[in-house]
A and B are shown apart, each in its own frame.
Chain A
């Protein structure tokens, strides 16, 4: 689920940037530092949308670096148990398959894959129905439901299922490309 929230962060800036473009430099550094990171608490930071407030800088003893407290708005993505996500398959093995929904990695174990789909080893390992009408392989698009999350301080990992109504293959690799 996506949220638009306000976060705060202390940014350290090298003295060489002190000048007319200090604020721009701060913002670009913020974006560079923050976007794409993950915290267990807030989820993945997808994008910084605005800088609310930049506080007074504090010169650090000895180094000359200055620490600015920055308040910024950003969009975060936090997966929850029970959430439905569209994802792209990244790897298939006999235990199941891995998929990505944006920054989140999801593992779908084979007992959460419908029973009519069987694992086919080979050059391109895949899960396939016996009539071959549905085939999940690398780069397939899959809609799945999150059934468990593992939240660490700096990463979130999910396990999902496609064994439910309206879940499963939504697009073939060709469509994805």
Chain B
């Protein structure tokens, strides 16, 4: 299943909510560092969409960021529930394991491996995008924002609050207290404690200018306009994000598990992939492809098997996967590709994705398994086909040879139902079917229909009229069929 929709979602989220300076959060941030970190979150999130679990130091190096700066931003993103982070105290061995995992997932960078080997026991932080969480968090965020504006706009927060302007008192009242607050002399609301006149409370988004006494109504109108504008703007600006959310809705988000899980999985799959490349027979089978599609790059593959095995075998396995995917029902493919087109288009997308070099993460994780599965599935398919063919033949034979009453009536009933469902030329269909049936049966059938017609209101038992009756009373079709059956058995 493609992770692309989710990656796109993260990118949109980054641009929608994190393109500003990331506000200082938490007390641990000193006021002195006012470095301009505008847009860094976007860069980091984008980079993370291309990776799975990644060591923060590596990420910092790749992005040419100071590790501290990176960590600061990541911490914010963690707080916002977009990113999961894990700290691991590691020995050299553990670092190796990580490198192996990275090599397995990103076509290997042998140079780095040696560099890392010199490290001693260290605490390393790893981070990864939590796609499922991102989806939820973003939806919740948008929901809250919209709700706040809409409530204010429609005055859904209906119980107006009143506060005492007296700074030494500051009592709060709600509209439900109104009866007690009314002053019998000037009929305004007065504080029960200090008797100063109350002011309507407004802790609202666009209520800045409401404070200046007399222009109350104008202020209110302006405020509503402002809110409406705000809501409109938000809808427009978040539209692509909303669309992406809708698109992603029914897809399973990529899940890389915890760091340790991911590491194990990645190493395991990496091993199998490389060994896979060394088996020439498999290769050939892949090259031809189960569908027999020509693959122009096949020749090169043969030469480079040993060296660039990972890359090329991946290509083939992708093809293989795609081919097996053909067995899947079409709705499934469409969901995964997120493109409402035919299967072949979906496959193209798989290829282009590969070409772009966007990490083909999920596919990688399951590849070796899927490879075996592909073969197994093919075998199963063949078997099923043969089995069903045999079964069908048998049934046909049985239908022809056996003239057992029940079987035939059953068939009649079903064909009858089909007639009604599919065509309006009932009479023609019937005669056709009658031709197929033996003559004696035809006679019996006609008898049956007559008796069935007696149940109906109309008594003229010409065949055409009768059938019209039957079609007219559609829900009764089954009943009539039963009647017919009984009558027929009687005959």
Contacts and interface: CB of A to CB of B under 8 A. Distances in A.
Interface of B (DSSP majority class) = mixed
A54 to B, nearest CB: 37
A111 B178 contact: no
B220 A112 contact: no
A148 B175 contact: yes
B158 interface: yes
A94 B188 contact: yes
Interface string B132-163: 00000000000000000000000100111010
A115 B155 CA distance: 11
Contacts of B217: 115, 118-119
B63 to A, nearest CB: 50
Given A115-B220, A115-B224, A159-B160, 19 more contacts: A93-B187, A95-B162, A95-B189, A95-B198, A95-B200, A96-B178, A105-B179, A107-B178, A107-B179, A109-B178, A110-B200, A111-B160, A111-B200, A112-B160, A147-B158, A148-B159, A157-B176, A159-B158, A159-B175
A95 B188 contact: yes
Contact of B176 (A91, A93, A148): A148
Nearest to A147: B158
A111 B179 contact: no
The 3 residue pairs across chains A and B that have the minimum distance between CB atoms = A107-B178, A150-B176, A109-B160
A93 B188 CA distance: 6
B159 A157 contact: no
A72 interface: no
Contacts of B220: 111, 115
A98 interface: yes
B159 A159 contact: yes
B34 to A, nearest CB: 41
B155 A163 contact: yes
Given A95-B200, A111-B155, A157 B179 contact: yes
A98 B182 CA distance: 10
A16 B160 CA distance: 54
Contacts, number: 64
A161 interface: yes
B86 to A, nearest CB: 48
B447 to A, nearest CB: 64
7 contacts: A93-B189, A107-B178, A119-B217, A125-B187, A157-B178, A159-B158, A159-B176
A109 B158 CA distance: 9
Nearest to A118: B217
Interface string B192-215: 000000101000000000000000
A98 B188 CA distance: 12
Interface string A141-177: 0000001101000000101010100000000000000
Nearest to B156: A147
Nearest to A150: B176
Contacts of B158: 112, 147-148, 159, 161
B198 to A, nearest CB: 8
Interface string B173-186: 00110110010000
A112 B187 contact: no
B89 interface: no
Contact of A98 (B155, B162, B178): B178
Interface of A, secondary structure class, is strand
A95 B159 CA distance: 13
Nearest to B161: A109
Contact of B178 (A115, A159, A163): A159
Contacts of A147: 158-159
Contacts of A159: 158-160, 175-176, 178
B432 interface: no
A93 B186 CA distance: 9
Nearest to B155: A111
Contact of B175 (A91, A93, A107, A118): A107
B221 interface: yes
A145 to B, nearest CB: 10
Nearest to B160: A109
Contact of A91 (B187, B198, B216): B187
A59 to B, nearest CB: 42
A119 B200 CA distance: 15
Nearest to B198: A95
Interface in A44-100: 91, 93-96, 98
Interface in A96-129: 96, 98, 105, 107, 109-112, 115, 118-119, 125
A1 to B, nearest CB: 20
Most chain A CB inside 10 Å of its own CB: which residue of B175, B182, B188, B198: B175
A124 to B, nearest CB: 12
Nearest to B188: A93
Interface string A122-138: 00010000000000000
Contacts of A98: 178-179, 182
A112 B200 contact: no
A168 B200 CA distance: 22
A105 B178 CA distance: 10
Most chain-B Cβ atoms within 10 A of its Cβ — which of A91, A105, A110, A125? A110
Interface centre among A94, A109, A119, A148 (most CB of B within 10 A): A109
Contacts of B162: 95
Nearest to B180: A157
Contact of A112 (B155, B179, B198): B155
Contacts of B155: 111-112, 161, 163
Contacts of A125: 187
B162 to A, nearest CB: 8
